[in-house]
C-alpha cells in the first residue's frame, strides 16, 4: 500500500554542523506533513509542519522543505546540539490533518561531540 519512507536509517553528524533528514512519500492525496522527534522511551514530539500549498517553512533552527513534484520532504537542523540526538519521523496526513497519521520508518540522528 501507499506509505511514507525514509532514505537513511542512521545519520551521524558533528556537533555544530547542519543535518538534513530526507523522506519520500507516495500518497499523492497527502496535503499535510509533519516532522516529529522521538527520544528513547518517550512519545513523539512535534517539531514542524507544512501544508501542501507551501514548499518551505522555517522554525527555530529547523527548516522543512516540500517538493511535491518528486514527493519528497526534508528536515534541516542547523547548528546541531547533543540534545538533537533522537529518532526523527516524517508523517503524512490527508484532508489537512483530519485523519490519523502515516509515519515513515524513522532516521536515527546521532550527534558526535
Partner 1 sequence: GAVVSQHPSWVICKSGTSVKIECRSLDFQATTMFWYRQFPKQSLMLMATSNEGSKATYEQGVEKDKFLINHASLTLSTLTVTSAHPEDSSFYICSARPTTRGTQYFGPGTRLLVL
By CB under 8 A, name the binding residues for partner 1.
Answer: 32, 34, 36, 41-46, 49, 89, 95-106
Question: Contact at 8 Å (CB) between 50 and 30?
Answer: no
Q: How many CB atoms lie within 10 A of CB 36?
A: 22
Cβ proximity to partner 1: between 44 and 80 the closer is 44
In the complex, what is the shortest distance from the CB of residue 113 to partner 1, in angstroms, rounded to a whole number?
Answer: 24
CA distance 79 to 84: 10
Taking the least distance from each CB to partner 1, the nearer of 15 and 95 is 95
Nearer to partner 1, 80 or 107 (CB): 107
- Could you tell me the smallest distance in angstroms from the CB atom of residue 69 to partner 1? 25
CB closer to partner 1 out of 51 and 56:
51
Partners of 35 in the beta sheet? 48, 90
Partners of 76 in the β-ladder? 20, 63
Smallest gap from Cβ 17 to partner 1, in A, equals 25
The helix (run of H) or strand (run of E) holding residue 102 is strand 102-103
DSSP state for residue 68 in the 8-state scheme: T
The minimum distance between CB 32 and partner 1, in angstroms, equals: 8
Amino acid at each position: 500500500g501507499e506509505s511514507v519512507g525514509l532514505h537513511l536509517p542512521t545519520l551521524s553528524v558533528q556537533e555544530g554542523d547542519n543535518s538534513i533528514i530526507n523522506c519520500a512519500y507516495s500518497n499523492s492525496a497527502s496535503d499535510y506533513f509533519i516532522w516529529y522527534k522521538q527520544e528513547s522511551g518517550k512519545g513523539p514530539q512535534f517539531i514542524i509542519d507544512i501544508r501542501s500549498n507551501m514548499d518551505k517553512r522555517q522554525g527555530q533552527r529547523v527548516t522543512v522543505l516540500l517538493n511535491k513534484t518528486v514527493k519528497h520532504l526534508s528536515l534541516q537542523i542547523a547548528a546541531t546540539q547533543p540534545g538533537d540526538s533522537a529518532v526523527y519521523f516524517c508523517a503524512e496526513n490527508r484532508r489537512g490533518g483530519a485523519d490519523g497519521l502515516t509515519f515513515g520508518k524513522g532516521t536515527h540522528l546521532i550527534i558526535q561531540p
